[in-house]
Chain A
Amino acid sequence: MNDVLTFEFEPWKVVEAEALRAFPNECCGFLFGQMTEQGRHFTEAMPVENAQTGDQRRRFAIDQRDYLRAERHALASGTTLLGIYHSHPRHPAVPSIHDLRVALPFFSYLIASTYPGRVERVRSWQLNEAGRFFEEPLHIPSHG
């Protein structure tokens, strides 16, 4: 349960860029990659539209058809859908009660704390057997 997360530079860049682009709203998307002996290696990010109706500054939702597309993409590309990213505009990169309420086991939930013009911090969380989030060690990629 102590997987180390590593990233190719490209998906990391996508997460940061999407968080800034969507600000002051929340962005969201999928993360693909491989399970390795050391943990999880992320090779691709797929941004999707925030399907939340109403205020997107504090909520996000992913359309079911986008989820369908993501699982199909993983099967076709030989990768695994390993996680979901979203941003917390003007809030810490810590899961909220809303994140916990619908969280699924196995997925890495990457959260980007975002302020005007800057992504302050990105952290990743996973649900444990007791239904609580634990933080996953995250290696930030150097610029490629």
Chain B
Amino acid sequence: MANLIIPTPLRKFTGGAATFNADTPTVAGLLQALAEAHPGLQPHLYDADGALRHFIRVYVGDEDIEALDGVATALAPNTEVSIIPAIAGGTSDPS
């Protein structure tokens, strides 16, 4: 059973739940199970082509799945998975 941490900005789509658990072998399966359980999340996770949105990162433990096998990354039991949004900004003037 993998344990997924939902970032706070997306918890309005999970009824306030901070975590989601599912017994799936890969990251892709876990995210799919999450989106099926909470359909409002779908457009915030995936773009029109069904790929993960570019400003979303997914970590398995302390590793970015891009450094592993992407959404095909295998999940061992009790693995912690995190959805991480990009955080950035700045003032109006160009640098």
Which residue of A71, A99, A104 is within 8 Å of B82 (Cβ)? A71
A61-B87, A95-B89, A97-B92 given; name 13 further pairs at CB < 8 Å.
Answer: A54-B95, A59-B89, A59-B91, A64-B57, A72-B5, A82-B8, A86-B90, A91-B93, A96-B89, A98-B88, A105-B9, A105-B12, A106-B12
Query: Are A88 and B91 interface neighbours, CB within 8 A?
Result: yes
Q: How large is the interface on A (under 10, 10 to 19, 20 to 34, 35 or more residues)?
A: 35 or more
Closest residue of chain A to B58, judged by CB?
A64
Q: Which of A34-74 contact B (CB under 8 A)?
A: 52, 54-55, 57-62, 64-65, 67-68, 71-72, 74
- A93 to B12, alpha carbons, bound, how many Å? 27
- A101 to B90, alpha carbons, bound, how many Å? 10
Total A-B residue contacts, Cβ distance less than 8 Å? 93
The 22 sampled A-B contact pairs (Cβ below 8 Å) are A55-B95, A61-B86, A61-B87, A64-B59, A65-B62, A67-B7, A67-B84, A67-B87, A68-B59, A68-B62, A68-B82, A71-B8, A81-B8, A89-B91, A91-B92, A95-B89, A96-B91, A104-B85, A105-B12, A106-B8, A106-B11, A107-B8
Query: Are A107 and B90 interface neighbours, CB within 8 A?
Result: no
Interface centre among B7, B90, B95 (most CB of A within 10 A): B90
Q: A55-B95, A75-B18, A106-B12 are in contact. Are A98 and B90 (CB under 8 A)?
A: yes
Residue A124 lies at the interface, judged by CB distance under 8 Å to chain B: no
Closest residue of chain B to A80, judged by CB?
B8
- A81 to B62, alpha carbons, bound, how many Å? 19
Query: Are B12 and A102 interface neighbours, CB within 8 A?
Result: no
- Min distance, Cβ A1 to any Cβ of chain B, angstroms: 12
- Min distance, Cβ B47 to any Cβ of chain A, angstroms: 16
Residue A122 lies at the interface, judged by CB distance under 8 Å to chain B: no
Residue A119 lies at the interface, judged by CB distance under 8 Å to chain B: no
- Min distance, Cβ B5 to any Cβ of chain A, angstroms: 5
User: Across the interface, which residues of B come within 8 angstroms of A84, CB to CB?
Assistant: 87
User: Across the interface, which residues of A come within 8 angstroms of B86, CB to CB?
Assistant: 61, 102
Q: A106-B12, A107-B9 are in contact. Are A98 and B91 (CB under 8 A)?
A: yes
User: Across the interface, which residues of A come within 8 angstroms of B11, CB to CB?
Assistant: 106
User: Across the interface, which residues of B come within 8 angstroms of A52, CB to CB?
Assistant: 88, 90
